[in-house]
């Protein structure tokens, strides 16, 4: 039987993991949940319990408070980020089928002691996971305490021998030792001047605390005098640290077998908390797959027919495709191979249709079969479903093939159904939506069986055919299941008209890449490296000795101890030295070190960016990023490996990096086009505020025009400071910024920020009404929606936790505007791509960076492409105000700015 002290473990996790590094996009702190889950996984794996329970403290007084009103008095206030996480841990444990046990008037330790004694009496081996040393009094040869060490993964096994080794007493004597020494955390003062060694010596001499008290007059020296003077404290401590073993409970050890896991519930919670897939995989490995429950996505198919995986002989594929995969019935397609960085290679294919499945080795096709397969791939009348199709499409491009007729991408479909989920791999989606278990390409469940045909060589080849065929059939059936969910959530048209067509467009952009000037990047790298070294030299000069500028611990010592600079925000490891703290120090002191440290960090970051770009230049001299459609919950595209959406644009150094992206051989220009203030234009459209709409139509500088209206002055009187403040607020409102957030951004008090917002709303009342309405509507519906119907689900809007609820409200304000902007730029990409293809232009799109498109333009096409891009972007979606598009042209990305 494994017994866990819930609050003890959760607090341990909370303080072991920095809260600033564990937060969801809604602002929910997750460090305690993540750490608790990690410890639980280790315990389940190492201990393999048959019975388990987590004991929890309840609010309200216990019998100890009645004995000693100052019990635990003086404890520091519980961090605001912690209580809400306890609720999440308890929710997770409920989904995992782990019982929770508590009793009013008693602490978790008492509940554990009662269950431990009962379990031992029933012949069980007992393990107790707790960070409270009072549990040591329960230790026997059949009851071990698992006590946390220096890290979350370290647990020390406290046995009778270990208690003796560490404290010099037996477990039965430990309670007496604790009474003598006291416990600061519980506000139980011990005997002054008496530590564990002295207490152990006394207990060994007299055998027990009771005997020691009887012979207290015999104890010599100052320690003996102190003992006699504080006997009342010792006896009180001894009474309070006794663990109750007779707590009335609703359960007994035999009833503590875990219930079946609700895997879909765990998945949903992990998606909400935005945990990485690694923790989920570790958890499911030790807990088991669980039973799928619920029927949110339509009826599950528990009677799947057997699939015959057929391998065509030479010259037979064309006939198989003609007989099985034409006529409008959607086929599931799965591929093995490698892809990325603008290319790839397919090593095997499987195509599954109802009642049949074919395995294809592309290297074993004759000319007729290869031609037939290429025609089938490019036939829009042959519908196809794939999972995460962009990678295989890249490999098809590299093979000289194309793809048309994609009617489902199961990864994108699942993302649109639940935008917050983090696991979109095929195995996980099959388990969620079909109830199938896929394990390394083979079926572990009973829902699907495979009859492997044409097995002409080796178990490994047969397993490959079987696994790939299973994946193709899984994709086909999963696509049908997800179609139901898409229709229920109103996302089917968004998938069909935007996301699926965009897959091929993005694949073409990745395949093309963008040319890079390697020599120039090498020069930048050397320059930034020299700047980093110079900053290090200057920092050492200021301090008068060498130290590591990248070590927070050494920085704390230098800044706050040696130089005596003003203290920053206190954190667990001392005082923070993050960028905000260093900026603050520059305003509080004339010492030049904070400025040098900021420059060092900036130059280090720039060098890291440049070094990453150099490493990703392909053999063709171009950089091929990877775009992700299913990462951001708002629908925005993200870029990775390298992230070209993260190249700085506002600093001179960042613009110099953009200079390294150049027009490629065979082309004359790079053309950039972006939307001007698209989020604010969308806000004007959605709010239908007449004054805001008019401000866009005056032709003046928009932010200056708004500033003039807010401050009641003429546009000509608006200075740079007033314009900057209003610009920050304009975008802040579009992004759900609170008055506190605005105050931090402007460097003013929250009261001043609130006044500025009130002045704004006095002029633009319908904006205020819209912002209120969108939150109220989201609270009723449980989701927000963009102009194109993209939903973002926000269950935290109904949370009892104020922090989570307020962050969800800010998300509700932000999602319709930012999501609509993301949708519009996607539509614009589709329109531009279609126009370029229909017009037979050689020019092409290369990059999308949020609201900006970058195109490569060939000789003689500049005028036409400029007009085409401008008109298609401006007409991507009708708004009450015009979509303004700015265009620039140049030999590189920097010079093409506008």
Examine the domain organization and report whether 76 and 110 are in the same domain. Answer: yes
User: How many angstroms separate the CA atoms of 422 and 400, rounded?
Assistant: 33
**Residue 455 — pLDDT band, cuts 50, 70, 90?**
very low
Q: Which long-range contacts (CB under 8 A, 24 or more apart) does 693-700 make?
A: 693/880, 693/881, 696/881, 696/882, 697/881, 697/882
Judge contact between 14 and 34, C-beta under 8 A: no
Examine the domain organization and report whether 352 and 496 are in the same domain. Answer: yes
> Residue 202: its pLDDT value, please?
93
Average pLDDT on 368-385 reads: 95
Average pLDDT on 569-575 reads: 81
Q: Percent of the chain, pLDDT > 70?
A: 95
Examine the domain organization and report whether 6 and 100 are in the same domain. Answer: yes
Q: What is the pLDDT of residues 201-233, one digit of tens each?
A: 999 999 999 999 898 888 888 888 899 988 988
Judge contact between 411 and 391, C-beta under 8 A: no
> Residue 299: its pLDDT value, please?
36
Examine the domain organization and report whether 683 and 802 are in the same domain. Answer: yes
Average pLDDT on 458-464 reads: 74
Examine the domain organization and report whether 870 and 858 are in the same domain. Answer: yes
Residue 444 pLDDT > 50: no
State which of 768, 789, 820 marks the end of a domain.
820
Six token digits for residue 888 = 């620039």
Residue 318 pLDDT > 70: yes
Average pLDDT on 243-265 reads: 92
Examine the domain organization and report whether 250 and 122 are in the same domain. Answer: yes
**Residue 750 — pLDDT band, cuts 50, 70, 90?**
confident
Q: What is the pLDDT of residues 516-535, one digit of tens each?
A: 999 999 999 999 999 999 99
User: Domain range for residue 703?
Assistant: 679-820
Examine the domain organization and report whether 856 and 806 are in the same domain. Answer: no
pTM, 2 dp: 0.77
Q: What is the pLDDT of residues 682-737, one digit of tens each?
A: 999 999 999 889 888 876 677 888 888 888 888 888 888 888 888 887 877 766 67
Q: What is the pLDDT of residues 408-433, one digit of tens each?
A: 999 999 999 988 777 788 988 888 88
> Residue 74: its pLDDT value, please?
67
Here the CATH number for the domain that contains residue 585 is 1.20.1060.10
Six token digits for residue 429 = 């989606």
Here the CATH number for the domain that contains residue 853 is 3.30.70.370
Examine the domain organization and report whether 363 and 494 are in the same domain. Answer: yes
Q: What is the pLDDT of residues 875-888, one digit of tens each?
A: 999 999 999 999 99
Q: Name the one residue in this structure whose structure tokens are 């499945």.
A: 357
Number of structural domains (the chain) is 5
Examine the domain organization and report whether 334 and 451 are in the same domain. Answer: yes
* Alpha helices, DSSP H, located in 735-782: 739-746, 750-763, 765-781
**Residue 56 — pLDDT band, cuts 50, 70, 90?**
very high
Higher pLDDT, 541 or 340: 541
Average pLDDT on 740-769 reads: 84
Judge contact between 192 and 230, C-beta under 8 A: yes
Q: What integer best gives the mean pLDDT of the chain?
A: 89
> Residue 445: its pLDDT value, please?
31
Judge contact between 898 and 888, C-beta under 8 A: yes
Residue 832 pLDDT > 50: yes
> Residue 458: its pLDDT value, please?
55
Q: What is the pLDDT of residues 61-114, one digit of tens each?
A: 888 888 888 887 767 778 888 888 999 999 999 999 999 999 999 999 999 999
DSSP per-residue codes, 490-543: T-HHHIIIIIHHHHHHHHHHHHH-EEE-HHHHHHHHHHHHHHHHHHHHHHHHHH
> Residue 567: its pLDDT value, please?
93
Examine the domain organization and report whether 758 and 860 are in the same domain. Answer: no
Q: Which of 204, 192, 202 is nearest to 233 (CA)?
A: 192
Asked whether the CA dihedral 727, 728, 730, 735 is positive or negative, the reply is positive
> Residue 439: its pLDDT value, please?
57
> Residue 881: its pLDDT value, please?
93
DSSP per-residue codes, 627-638: EESSS-TT---E
Asked whether the CA dihedral 552, 557, 562, 565 is positive or negative, the reply is positive
In a domain, 213, yes or no: no
């Amino acid at each position: 039987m494994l017994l866990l002290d819930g609050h003890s473990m959760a607090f341990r996790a909370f303080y072991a993991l920095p809260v600033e590094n564990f937060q969801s996009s809604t602002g929910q702190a997750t460090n305690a949940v993540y750490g608790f889950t990690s410890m639980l996984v280790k315990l389940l794996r190492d201990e393999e319990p048959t019975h388990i329970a987590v004991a929890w403290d309840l609010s309200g007084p216990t019998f100890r408070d009645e004995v000693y009103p100052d019990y635990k008095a003086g404890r520091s206030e519980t961090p605001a980020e912690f209580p809400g996480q306890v609720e999440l841990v308890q929710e997770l444990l409920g989904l995992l089928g782990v019982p929770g046990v508590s009793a009013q008037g008693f602490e978790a330790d008492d509940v554990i002691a009662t269950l431990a004694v009962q379990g031992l009496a029933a012949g069980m081996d007992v393990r107790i996971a707790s960070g409270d040393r009072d549990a040591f009094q329960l230790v026997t040869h059949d009851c071990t305490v698992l006590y946390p060490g220096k890290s979350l993964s370290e647990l020390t096994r406290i046995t009778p021998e270990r208690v003796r080794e560490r404290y010099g007493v037996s477990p039965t004597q430990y309670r007496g030792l604790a009474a003598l020494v006291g416990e600061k955390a519980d506000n139980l003062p011990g005997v002054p001047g008496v530590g564990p060694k002295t207490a152990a010596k006394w207990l060994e001499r007299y055998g027990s605390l009771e005997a020691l008290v009887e012979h207290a007059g015999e104890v010599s020296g100052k320690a003996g005098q102190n003992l006699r003077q504080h006997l009342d404290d010792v006896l009180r401590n001894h009474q309070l640290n006794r663990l109750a073993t007779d707590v009335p409970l609703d359960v007994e050890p035999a009833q503590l077998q875990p219930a079946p896991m609700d895997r879909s519930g765990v998945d949903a919670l992990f998606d909400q908390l935005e945990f990485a897939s690694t923790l989920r995989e570790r958890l499911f490995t030790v807990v088991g797959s669980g039973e799928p429950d619920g029927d949110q996505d339509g009826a599950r198919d528990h009677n799947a027919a057997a699939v015959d995986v057929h391998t065509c002989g030479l010259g037979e594929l064309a006939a198989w495709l003609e007989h099985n995969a034409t006529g409008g019935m959607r086929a599931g397609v799965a591929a093995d191979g490698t892809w990325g960085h603008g290319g790839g290679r397919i090593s095997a294919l499987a195509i599954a249709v109802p009642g049949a499945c074919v395995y294809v080795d592309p290297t074993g096709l004759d000319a007729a079969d290869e031609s037939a397969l290429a025609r089938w791939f490019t036939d829009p009348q042959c519908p196809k479903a794939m999972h995460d199709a962009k990678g295989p499409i890249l490999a098809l491009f590299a093979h000289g093939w194309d793809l048309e007729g994609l009617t489902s991408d199961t990864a994108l479909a699942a993302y649109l159904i639940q935008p917050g989920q983090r696991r979109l791999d095929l195995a996980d989606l099959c388990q969620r939506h079909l109830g199938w278990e896929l394990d390394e390409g083979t079926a572990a469940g009973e829902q699907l069986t495979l009859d492997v045909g044409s097995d002409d060589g080796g178990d490994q080849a047969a397993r490959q055919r079987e696994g790939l065929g299973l994946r193709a059939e899984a994709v086909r059936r999963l696509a049908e299941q997800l179609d139901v969910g898409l229709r229920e959530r109103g996302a089917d048209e968004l998938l069909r008209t935007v996301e699926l067509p965009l897959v091929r467009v993005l694949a073409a952009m990745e395949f093309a890449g963008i040319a890079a000037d390697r020599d120039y990047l090498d020069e930048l790298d050397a320059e930034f490296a020299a700047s980093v070294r110079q900053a290090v030299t200057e920092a050492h000069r200021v301090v008068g000795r060498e130290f590591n500028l990248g070590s927070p611990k050494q920085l704390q010592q230098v800044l706050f101890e040696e130089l005596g600079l003003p203290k920053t925000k206190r954190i667990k490891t001392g005082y923070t030295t993050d960028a905000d703290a260093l900026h603050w120090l520059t305003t509080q002191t004339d010492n030049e070190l904070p400025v040098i440290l900021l420059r060092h960090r900036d130059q280090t970051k720039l060098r890291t960016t440049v070094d990453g770009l150099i490493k990703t230049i392909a053999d063709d001299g171009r950089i091929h990023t990877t775009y992700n459609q299913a990462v951001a919950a708002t629908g925005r595209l993200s870029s990775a490996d390298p992230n070209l959406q993260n190249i700085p644009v506002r600093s001179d150094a960042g613009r110099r990096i953009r200079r390294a992206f150049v027009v490629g051989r065979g082309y004359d220009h790079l053309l950039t086009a972006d939307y001007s203030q698209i989020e604010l234009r969308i806000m004007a459209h959605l709010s239908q505020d007449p004054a805001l709409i008019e401000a866009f139509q005056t032709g003046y500088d928009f932010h200056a025009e708004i500033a003039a209206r807010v401050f009641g002055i003429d546009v000509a009187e608006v200075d740079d400071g007033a314009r900057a403040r209003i610009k920050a607020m304009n975008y802040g409102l579009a992004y759900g910024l609170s008055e506190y957030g605005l105050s931090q951004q402007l460097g003013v008090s929250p009261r001043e920020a609130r006044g500025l917002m009130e002045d704004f709303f006095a002029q633009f009342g319908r904006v205020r009404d819209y912002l209120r309405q969108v939150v109220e509507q989201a609270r009723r519906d449980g989701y927000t929606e963009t102009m194109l119907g993209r939903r973002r689900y926000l269950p935290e809007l109904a949370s009892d936790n104020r922090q989570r609820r307020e962050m969800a409200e800010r998300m509700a304000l932000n999602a319709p505007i930012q999501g609509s902007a993301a949708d519009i730029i996607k539509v614009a990409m589709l329109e531009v791509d279609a126009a370029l293809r229909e017009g037979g232009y050689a020019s092409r799109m290369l990059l999308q960076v949020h609201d900006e498109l970058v195109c490569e333009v060939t000789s003689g096409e500049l005028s036409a492409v400029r007009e085409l891009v401008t008109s298609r972007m401006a007409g991507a979606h009708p708004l009450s105000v015009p979509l303004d598009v700015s265009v620039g042209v140049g030999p590189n990305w920097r010079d093409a700015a506008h």
